[in-house]
Every structure is written in C-alpha cells, then in structure tokens.
Amino acid sequence: MRRRTFARTLPVGLLGVMGLAACTSEDPAPAGSSPSGAPTPESPDTPIDPTPVPDRTMAETVDKSALRLPLEMTTHVMVAPGWSSTPRQLGGMFLGYAEEEDALRYIAVVEDGTVSWTARRPLSCTGFAVSRTEDDAPVAVLADVAAGEEQVVLSTLSGYDLVTGQTLWGPTEVPGPQVAPGLVFAAPGEQPMGAGGERVAVAAGTGDTVIAEADLDGGRIVAEHLGTLLHTQGAQLVAVSSADGSRLWELDLPAGADPMSAHVPGTIDPLANLAVVRGDTDDGEGFGLLVDLTDGSVLTEDATAVALDPATGTIVLVSGTVVTGMDAEGTELWRYVDPEALRLVSAGERLSYALRPEEGTLVVLDTLQGMMVQPYDVDQSGPLGVPEVFSAEAAVAVRISEEQVHLVTTELDMDFGS
C-alpha cells in the first residue's frame, strides 16, 4: 500500500452532500431558518407509529476492500446502519436517519456497531438533536407532527433515552421546526428558507420551554448544546442552564456587532464543547468568536469552524484559508495556509479533514504538526470514504456516497490481512 502527499479529489455528488454536513464557514441557511434546510412539517398520508423499537442486533458488516478508506480505519470492523444523514454522536452513541419511501427511520447505534433502537417519523421531520439532562443523562429528541384544529399541522417533540430508546417525555408542542443547533425551534417563515417567527429553546430533560424570544426584549436565541443555551441580550452573548434558566456566564460581543445576526453555523462538537458564533458588524467585516462553552472565554475572534481531535487534544481552527492547531489554552501549535477557503469536516485519530469546494478536493492535515498528508492507499479503487463524526473512542461515521453513511466501529477486524 502506497501513500503520496496530495489532496484527494472528491466525486461531484459527494461534494454537495459534504458541503451541507461540514462545519462550514458559510451559513447553511439564512437567519431564522432550519440549519439543515428542514421543510415545514407536514402530516404523512398514512399514520406512522413513532414509538421506538428496541433492536440490539449487529448492523450489517461492510466489505472494506471495495472502499477507499484512511488506512488507520481498515483494521476495524465497518458496518452499514443504513443512515443517509450525517449522524449526531454523544457518549459513544450515534443517531442518524435513513430516508425511506414513506418515512424517515431513525437508527441509534452503539460505537461497537450494535443497533440499539429505531424509530419512524414523517419525511418532513428531519430536525433532531442529542443533548443531556441536568443529571447528565444522554437524550435523543425527535420531531413529529400532530393534527390541530381546522386542519392545522402542529409540530411536536419527544425525548428518549439515547441508549435504550425509552420514552422520557412528550409529545410536547413547539412553534415549528428546528432553526438552530440543538433544541431551538420557531414557526416557519412565509417564504421557503426565509426568516421564521420568534424562537423558543426547550430543556432536554423535560421538553419544557426554558427561554422564549418574546421574553428577551429583542434578544436572539442562538443555540442549545448539552444543556447550555446561548442567546444575545443587548450587546452581550449570554449562556444559561436549560435545567433552571440560571445564568452561567456572559461576554461582550465585538464593537459594532449586530446581536440579531449572531448564529452558530453547522453543529457543535460534543467532544470539544467549543462553539463558533458568527455575525455581522457595522463595518461589514463580521465576527467569528470561538467560545469555550464551559466558562465563556474567547479563544479567537476570526473563526469560521472548529473541531477537536480527541486522539491528540489538538483544537483545529479554520479561518478562511488558514488552518491553525491549538492546545486547550488556545496557544498556537502550528499553522497551515491553503490556496482556497476551506470547509472543515472533522478531526480525529491524528488527522483533520477539510474540503476545497471550488477545486473539489479533500485536504488532510496531521493534527500534531499541521503537515498535509495522504492517509489513503493510492492504489485502492472504489468509493472514497470521508470521516464526518468521531467518538472519543475513535469510532467514526464515514460518508461513502450521497445516500450512504457507514460506521467504523471500535471493534478490531479479526479477518484483517487474511
């Protein structure tokens, strides 16, 4: 098996999907719309039983020899849970969905490849989240629809134990679909992908509304992450606990910032507990705060995307064409400058993955030194696997095509090399 140092070309179709899945430097949707482009919920033609179904079987094993994978991943068992969406990961559990003919099928998978439970939802209910209760229990929150008065379709949420699929609460009515990372919802706007109504944020442990923009006097709810809610108030960014609404910290937004434009592009990595908060300024330059959600400290003000490599502890920060490796204190370890503005996809197992959207190539950097490397066997043929989501134990969701995301598990492949 041979390696060379160059950027790997991606198929055109895969580029489009990866652009949506990546922690992109571009806003995935205008302010007030769903971060995933989720449609307005609609009632299915036939009723769908939303009750999670326990499984506890091993997902189908994949023949890795037909794929191009980073070499370090070829020694572990790969399975095909059936996901078409990029899954969320929390505590070694992965949750994603498969788009079937008449419904979505959500599939929860343990990092060893065991399918824990599945649940069906209408095709329009693509907004979902994983979070934690005040007792630190992992929760999966899925959207659904219900019939209201005068043929009005209501949006609802239900919370489930992420590990077992046991119902914890719900269905609870919310104004509309997910409009920001985490448990943030609003009524849809009059125009597709346009600005929606006032937002609410709910608690992962109960489904109760913790904050509503109607009570913020002009503030904007920005995101929810593992029980921490972010919103603006005046010229500040404020973090509160979703358990009781208590204030955790606050920080001043940059001079000239428009608080209502503040948003978190993409998703927030649960391994890093860091968020990029972007927005507009009156000088047209904009801002990109890299915020430690633990205490509100700001590591930099020009970030576009961030990921943490759990294997090395390196924080990988993208700002346009510049990629920077930092330690936990924000000290720069290395810097790489690319010819093109990059879209960060993921980081893990000593490597970071980013896209060159215009050139259509994948840039892979060593997270210890910032050097460009080629982790794929250049003699191998087949679909290119791009790592999207890592767990702390190095399980990783790998996108194979527009409609397929597989899981490299924590289990060693006993047939490797035979």
Element at 249 (helix H, strand E): strand 247-252
**What are the structure tokens assigned to 364, written together?**
């892979």
pTM over 0.75, yes/no: yes
Question: Which residues, 6 or more positions from 348, have their beta carbon under 8 angstroms from its beta carbon?
Answer: 309, 310, 311, 387, 390, 394, 396
Beta strands in 92-202 (DSSP E): 93-99, 104-110, 114-121, 128-132, 138-147, 153-161, 167-174, 178-180, 184-186, 199-202
How would you classify the pairing of strands 93-99 and 104-110?
antiparallel
What integer pLDDT is reported at residue 216 of this predicted model? 92
What integer pLDDT is reported at residue 43 of this predicted model? 66
Element at 308 (helix H, strand E): strand 305-309
Q: Which residues of the chain have pLDDT under 70?
A: 1-45, 148-152, 189-195
What integer pLDDT is reported at residue 195 of this predicted model? 59
How many CA atoms lie less than 13 Å away from 41 in the CB half-sphere? 30
pLDDT digits (tens, 9 = 90+) for 144-161: 998 766 546 789 999 999
